[in-house]
Structure 1
């Protein structure tokens, strides 16, 4: 099944494959015809000791011509097969990367990042070896073996028929190796994936590892997994040493002994041609060389098939990001948000949101507050349609959330996260995000609007300043300002803020708060807040506790009730006073 799917990628290259096979047949014909010319030379000229010049020149020229044809055809057919293989793997990688872009966040929640990277890189690289080396080697050598058997039958039909018994023996060795090695190579790829996952985790959390002195523990865990990977590889080495070249070499020796024995018996009954014996031994030697090559490639074949099954498992993943339903094309015009009896669970067992209902009118600011794990981020995740909603309903302007197209939803709902993500590129590219509708002036106006222009103008290259991976060379406040600019460049109708000022200093926060006041005008805003001082002017504050809305109202209304919000406010006020003192 896996091989069938892999071969399906060759369908668009049928014409190129035809020419590659034609070149392969020409190269094979030239290769196997050489011993036949040598046989003619031995029987017709060397044995009788007659050496006419002109026939020998033609014979030698023909032999030399076959060598030249073989070399030239081998080059072009190998180039053709490899070019097809590289195009196939290029398409496979595009398919895998494209599929990953459309998987739901729930998939990434349970799939370690390093393991996923391993499938996209290491496993596709192993599949590349299947197309570049393994398949081309098998095709070339199978054609060569068929050509050799044709020549053997031309030399001696009886002995060639006996030699046909070699084919099931060779096939049996290959089948035994494949069955025994399949599980071993599965373990190798799994352990390699675990190694990548641990490596990725260690690199991303290096500051935490060093801060808490976890180097030794991580080293021991990595050493354990690395040892398991070594032992899994060792199993494949044992199989390779037993069933690959040694077994074929033994079969080759037994075959030569049998052929010589056949000619020894035959000489008692009648004379036989020395040229036929030479050609037969020469062709058998050429027969076992491609067999050895194919046996050597079996380990790569098994690795490639295991890797391909992991790649196809990813391509067949059904946990896609929630998508638009229906044929309607509604638009977000007002920004009225309604959560109606929404209950949600990530794992299907524990509800993180329980019967959530509220309305955010157009232009209003609704703040979500509560302790860690109360469900604030889950509300944002559902509003952004990162996860599918199975119980309750969310509407925007009276239209169910699932009815909106991705383009409309992402354009009209702007998101700013607590930990902003920047792409590798320039400052301008991170604000524009390759949006063709934004001019250079639009980018600068947006940066000015969110108070980002002062620090951008101070950069050596301004808006063309390069940004490294995840914006590591910028401060957290600068990254947050750029994420503000990126969001506002789209002029969204709805603004979603996940503690957007948590990573900036007090002075920068004051500037952003002024910008936020302008940004919120005419826009519905849903804001997660840990510092209650940032949402005192919100039109509605929802207090969440263990997935439920336990209080709702304005800042003053909630304080007057002396409930959970009042306790949180007093606690934060006390902490701020202690900090100030």
Structure 2
């Protein structure tokens, strides 16, 4: 990005960031006023010492000591007040910073929740974690430290400059000659350090993504003995991050001594020309001492401003990443006049639906079918035929490109996504369980669902058969991803989760594909009860589990090849018949082998 564009982006980011400060602007202004008082008190010591030296030179002993004690008393009092004010200012700023961090984190998390499934699949989990956790801290630091230090440094420089001009215009002008050199060095430092920091942030984000993925997949790594490979990958990524930090350290190691060298040259110049004025009795030694001390204090903020500008760029970098997520528009958008679906009879209709994940690579081609209230529809076909995609479209995980999906005769695009999903229960093959109690995993923390309702759902689905044997029953803690339960037990918890919300439409996507026969029997018994009372859509690999469905839809490469009940399709001796015979043969051979 060119310099001009980068500058425009920084200005745009800064204005946007100020929006987070707006609700706290009165507290921020108060903190700046308090800070100004603290700065003034910090400039008292050199003036106090100059006054004491003058008194020691020109006054009698008794009078001198009384005046020194008086000045000392005022000085100590001002220091105590300054410490109290500085404490209040720090607390005030930190409170503002934490409120801003809270707001940004909440805003980012809420926005991530609104993103579509396809968008979340493209973003590494570690990257999103960094956006929610690390980047808001950088923005908080901008308001609590960076900006306030910049303002503090500028105020201090202005006050010191005014005092220096009052003391000696000639010496002040000599001091200002050094300013352009410091500004040039600071500009070069800021430019180089920004690139270094951006690299570090990118490496941290990449490392977080790598860790998130590999810690989740550690079981696979260990099964295939790939620990050495992953360790080497982690070493390389960590080394790149280490190099980034080393480069940043080197930049600071060069910058600080260079600035110190320039300021020391300034001090030497002041002492030389000031010494000549002392010899010529234009200045007193005490005033020269105070002037030199103030010059030191004048150069320190310049160095700090350079470093804070670099930190400000770091905050901009974090802000850009956060705004990149916040500006990511969900691919699934609700119409302004979208309606709330109060009731849902379970009537679903696909009319000439076309859909693709990648442009022109159609997953569904002109698919049409109608599911009437209370019917059980099953979808079968080879992998990639579009079975799961149909179920995903019904809950609006994706938008179709052509055609129409109707829910109780209403176009699905005209229904709010939340109200639609409120009436649909899903039981998927890949069950995700949270590191919480069984009670939480069934209710998902919904306070409107009572403990008794959770127990009823577990009893209805048969999940109680193993929950009641646990020491803490429904308060039993589920380990991450449910690793302390079998696949069948996880699926039963998922089944209870789907039922407790009392859905009008129940979706099962290969729900019994990878579970033990005992759990499958429990689930199948529950499904038989449900079939007579509500609409069900099932994707199943085992044809034996869908024989009692009202309709079976056979898909191949996104097209409907056949549709009918189990007996009708067998009599046709077409696609379904062939699938059935292949599976029947496999089951028979499996039993013979046993």
| TM, length-normalised to structure 2 | 0.92
Q: Count the aligned residue pairs.
A: 580
Q: Secondary structure at the match of 1:425?
A: coil
Query: Does 2:89 align with 1:77?
Result: yes
| CA RMSD, Structure 1 to Structure 2 (Å) | 2.2
Change (3 A) 1:457 1:518: same
CA–CA distance in structure 1, aligned partners of residues 159 and 125 of structure 2: 49
Give 1:7 deviation, angstroms.
Answer: 2.6
1:221 maps to 233
Runs of 5+ consecutive residues of structure 1 not aligned to the other structure? none
Q: Answer yes or no: is the 8 Å Cα contact 1:374–1:547 preserved in 2.
A: yes
Give 1:330 deviation, angstroms.
Answer: 4.2
Give the alignment partner of residue 156 of structure 1, picking from 136, 147, 168: 168
Q: Secondary structure at the match of 1:339?
A: strand
2:323 maps to 312
2:44 maps to 33
2:534 maps to 523
Q: Secondary structure at the match of 2:462?
A: coil
CA–CA distance in structure 2, aligned partners of residues 262 and 321 of structure 1: 72
Following superposition of structure 1 onto structure 2, how do residues 418-437 of structure 1 map, counting pairs within 5 Å?
418-437=429-448
Give the alignment partner of residue 54 of structure 1, picking from 56, 66, 78: 66
Change (3 A) 1:150 1:68: farther
Runs of 5+ consecutive residues of structure 2 not aligned to the other structure? 1-11
1:478 maps to 489
Deviates more, 1:488-497 or 1:153-162: 153-162
Q: Secondary structure at the match of 1:46?
A: helix
Q: Answer yes or no: is the 8 Å Cα contact 1:106–1:319 preserved in 2.
A: no
Give 1:253 deviation, angstroms.
Answer: 1.0
1:121 maps to 133
CA–CA distance in structure 2, aligned partners of residues 364 and 286 of structure 1: 82
2:187 maps to 175
Deviations 1:481-539 (A, max 9, x none): 11111111121111111111223311221121111111222322111111111111111
2:9 maps to none
Following superposition of structure 1 onto structure 2, how do residues 489-508 of structure 1 map, counting pairs within 5 Å?
489-508=500-519
CA–CA distance in structure 1, aligned partners of residues 23 and 179 of structure 2: 32
Query: Does 2:222 align with 1:206?
Result: no
Give 1:561 deviation, angstroms.
Answer: 2.8
Q: Secondary structure at the match of 2:577?
A: helix
Q: Answer yes or no: is the 8 Å Cα contact 2:380–2:553 preserved in 1.
A: yes
Q: Secondary structure at the match of 2:43?
A: helix
1:241 maps to 253
Give 1:223 deviation, angstroms.
Answer: 2.6
Give 1:342 deviation, angstroms.
Answer: 1.1
Following superposition of structure 1 onto structure 2, how do residues 554-569 of structure 1 map, counting pairs within 5 Å?
554-569=565-580
Deviations 1:68-113 (A, max 9, x none): 2332222222222222112211211111111111111111121112
1:391 maps to 402
| TM, length-normalised to structure 1 | 0.94
Give 1:394 deviation, angstroms.
Answer: 0.4
Give the alignment partner of residue 546 of structure 1, picking from 549, 553, 557: 557
1:534 maps to 545
CA–CA distance in structure 2, aligned partners of residues 295 and 178 of structure 1: 7
Q: Answer yes or no: is the 8 Å Cα contact 2:114–2:330 preserved in 1.
A: no
Deviations 1:392-424 (A, max 9, x none): 110011101111223321221111111222223
1:410 maps to 421
Give the alignment partner of residue 356 of structure 1, picking from 364, 367, 389: 367
Q: Answer yes or no: is the 8 Å Cα contact 2:346–2:535 preserved in 1.
A: yes
Give 1:51 deviation, angstroms.
Answer: 5.0
Change (3 A) 1:508 1:271: closer
Following superposition of structure 1 onto structure 2, how do residues 70-149 of structure 1 map, counting pairs within 5 Å?
70-149=82-161
Give 1:161 deviation, angstroms.
Answer: 4.2
Give 1:287 deviation, angstroms.
Answer: 2.3
